[in-house]
């Protein structure tokens, strides 16, 4: 409070100097002199009129500055400035230049910035952050779930809410899914991009397992499938830092609002399918995006149409097809095993590590980011899918063999060899499964002799031993040179202690 009256009293009654009055009132001597000068200019002497209280006296000596009328110094709408700043390349300095060109007598740059920042400080923290049009899309799962009731059993299953929000306009997409696994995560992104009708430059997820294989503050390891999807849409995945919610404050805010305006609003509804739940969510979502902000006279949809939509990248011609990525090493037979089935690659890549991309219909095999093989996906376990061009020349010649050709070739060694090879073919579910055994048997003729092989095949036929190992054992032990003993039928021994089956038939008849 100014000590104007006391200064005037000490001067008028006691005629003290400015220095003495300053010491008495504990104020600066320049302030005392200023009071006295202003009182003189106002024609005020001691004693002052009784009707002048401290406030009136201060107003008399220190009248308010003449304010410039609004008509002479207009200021553009703060909301318009705030929205324009979200567009690429727009700065406060550029907006001030445009403002001064339209209003040469307007505020200078410092006052222009001061007035905007004073208005912006009253907004929420999330809204104060600067988001460029079409730059960032924030994605996350809400903490709350929504129940879905089985119409037959009455069992309740929780559905998770996927939330995606554009940074500049806060335009939001929400959908429900029964899991937070990788297929659900990818499918939700695909539908979100379709909902927005475009793709943002950057996608910012949380560090959940489906999107980030190995969280790291500086170099997070993105899931290969998630990275593949981002590459398909032309966006970049930059996860939020661990335990840094402000990195994704936009989606955190959207999650909270969605839980209030969607989850809470549908709390009294019972849903019997995921489709029914998502239909209800979409209705509430449209209403939510068309609702005005609390502190801005506009809606999320209006901002989206004005700011984000023109800046989004166009969607690709085809939506992303879900694909899983695996690593597999090429075996010595130049095949990689994927879910129990074997797919061929060029034989030169034996023992190399491959990246395998699996879709619902195809299997793509890549070596150092270059595709080396592509096959139709086959779910039959234990079977092979082989491309002839992947095989060495010697193996291609092997494919030229047929069952009839092998049987004819075996007949050149003798009838027993031909009959044994025929039995081997017929005993297998597929004749091709007997090729290797037949080739092995024919090769035994080179190690021993064609005559011994013929004899060994005859002994194997008599014993019904239709395999390569049995023929090889006969030759190793020299059994082909021995006469095969034919056992005659053994007649039953008659003895008085042996009752026979008739005895038991008679006992059964007695009991009956």
Give pairs for 126-130: CB < 8 Å, separation 24+. 126/249, 126/250, 126/252, 126/253, 127/295, 127/296, 129/167, 129/249, 129/250, 130/85, 130/86
- Grouping H, G, I as helix, E, B as strand and the rest as coil, residue 130 is coil
pLDDT tens, 230-282? 889 999 888 876 545 555 556 677 777 777 778 778 888 899 999 999 999 99
Band (157; pLDDT cuts 50, 70, 90): very high
Helix (H, G, I), strand (E, B) or coil at 59: helix
pLDDT reading at 197 higher than 70: yes
* Gap between the Cα atoms of 147 and 176, Å rounded: 10
Is the CB of residue 284 less than 8 Å from the CB of residue 261? Answer: yes
Q: What is the pLDDT of residue 209?
A: 60
The two beta strands, 156-166 and 172-177, are: antiparallel
pTM for this model (two decimals): 0.51
Burial letters 133-147, b for 16+ CB under 10 A, else e: bbbbbbbbbbeeebe
Place of tokens 């092989």: 453
Other CB atoms within a 10 A radius of the CB of residue 45 amount to: 11
Encode 209-234 in three state secondary structure: CCCEEECCCCCCEECHHHHHHHHHHC
Q: Residues 70-86: what's their mean pLDDT?
A: 74
Digit-coded pLDDT (tens) for 350-405: 889 999 998 888 999 999 888 999 999 988 888 888 888 887 776 665 556 677 87
Condensed to tens digits (0 to 9), the pLDDT of residues 340-363 reads 898 999 988 888 999 999 888 899
Token reading at 17: 């100097």
Query: Sign of the CA dihedral 242, 248, 249, 254?
Result: negative
Q: Half-sphere exposure of 211 toward its Cβ, with a 13 Å CA cutoff? A: 23
Higher-confidence position of 444 and 89: 444
Band of pLDDT at residue 219, cut at 50, 70 and 90 = very low
Q: What pLDDT sits at residue 128?
A: 46
- Beta strands 136-149 and 156-166: pairing type? antiparallel
Q: How confident is the model at residue 486 (pLDDT cuts 50, 70, 90)?
A: low
Q: Indicate the average pLDDT of the chain.
A: 80
Q: CA angle 224-142-153, nearest 5°?
A: 95
CB neighbourhood size of 40 (10 A): 10
What angle, rounded to 10 degrees, do the helices at 4-14 and 54-61 form? 90
CA 33/CA 42 separation, integer angstroms: 14
Q: Which tens digit of pLDDT belongs to each residue from 96-133?
A: 878 888 888 888 888 888 888 888 777 654 444 567 88
Per the listing, tokens 């009256």 go with 5
Q: Looking at residue 188, what is its pLDDT?
A: 92
Q: Superfamily assignment of 136-311 in CATH?
A: Ribonuclease H-like superfamily/Ribonuclease H (3.30.420.10)
Cα separation, 218 vs 216, in Å, equals 6
User: Residue with structure tokens 């009839």?
Assistant: 404
pLDDT at residue 88 in the model: 65
Query: Tokens 């002994």, residue?
Result: 459
């Amino acid at each position: 409070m100014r000590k104007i009256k006391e200064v005037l009293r000490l001067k008028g009654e006691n005629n003290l100097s400015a220095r003495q009055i300053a010491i008495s009132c504990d104020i600066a001597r320049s302030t005392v002199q200023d009071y006295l000068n202003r009182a003189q200019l106002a024609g005020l002497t001691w004693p002052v009129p009784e009707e002048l209280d401290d406030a009136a006296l201060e107003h008399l000596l220190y009248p308010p500055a003449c304010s410039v009328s609004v008509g002479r110094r207009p200021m553009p709408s703060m909301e318009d400035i705030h929205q324009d700043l979200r567009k690429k390349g727009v700065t406060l300095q550029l907006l001030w230049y445009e403002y001064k060109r339209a209003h040469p007598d307007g505020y200078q740059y410092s006052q222009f910035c001061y007035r905007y920042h004073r208005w912006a400080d009253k907004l929420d923290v999330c809204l104060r952050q600067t988001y460029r049009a079409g730059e960032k899309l924030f994605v996350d799962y809400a903490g709350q779930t929504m129940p879905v009731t089985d119409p037959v059993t009455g069992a309740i299953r929780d559905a998770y809410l996927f939330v995606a929000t554009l940074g500049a306009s806060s335009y939001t997409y929400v959908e429900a899914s029964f899991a937070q696994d990788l297929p659900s995560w990818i499918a939700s992104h695909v539908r979100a991009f379709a909902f927005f009708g475009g793709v943002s430059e950057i996608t910012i997820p949380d560090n959940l397992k489906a999107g980030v294989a190995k969280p790291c503050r500086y170099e997070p390891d993105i899931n290969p499938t998630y990275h593949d999807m981002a590459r398909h849409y032309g966006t970049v995945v930059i996860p939020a830092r661990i335990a840094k919610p402000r990195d994704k404050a936009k989606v955190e805010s959207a999650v909270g609002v969605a839980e209030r305006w969607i989850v809470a609003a549908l709390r009294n509804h019972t849903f019997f399918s995921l489709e029914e739940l998502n239909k209800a969510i979409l209705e509430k979502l449209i209403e939510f995006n068309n609702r005005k902000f609390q502190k801005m006279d506009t809606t999320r949809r209006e901002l989206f149409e004005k700011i984000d939509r023109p800046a989004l990248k166009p969607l690709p011609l085809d939506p992303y097809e879900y694909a899983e990525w695996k690593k597999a090493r090429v075996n010595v037979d130049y095949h990689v095993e994927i879910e129990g089935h074997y797919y061929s690659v060029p034989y030169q890549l034996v023992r190399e590590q491959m990246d395998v991309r699996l879709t619902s219909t195809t299997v793509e095999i890549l070596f150092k980011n270059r595709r080396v093989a592509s096959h139709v996906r086959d779910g039959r376990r234990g079977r092979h899918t082989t491309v002839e061009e992947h095989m060495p020349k010697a193996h291609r010649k092997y494919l030229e063999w047929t069952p009839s050709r092998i049987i004819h070739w075996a007949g050149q060694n003798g009838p027993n060899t031909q009959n044994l090879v025929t039995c081997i073919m017929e005993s297998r579910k597929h004749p091709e499964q007997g090729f290797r055994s037949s080739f092995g048997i024919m090769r035994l003729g080179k190690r021993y002799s064609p005559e011994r092989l013929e004899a060994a095949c005859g002994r194997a036929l008599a014993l019904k031993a239709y395999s390569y190992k049995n023929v090889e054992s006969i030759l190793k032990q020299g059994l082909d040179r021995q006469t095969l003993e034919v056992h005659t039928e053994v007649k039953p021994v008659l003895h008085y202690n042996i009752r026979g089956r008739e005895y038991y038939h008679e006992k059964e008849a007695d009991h009956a």
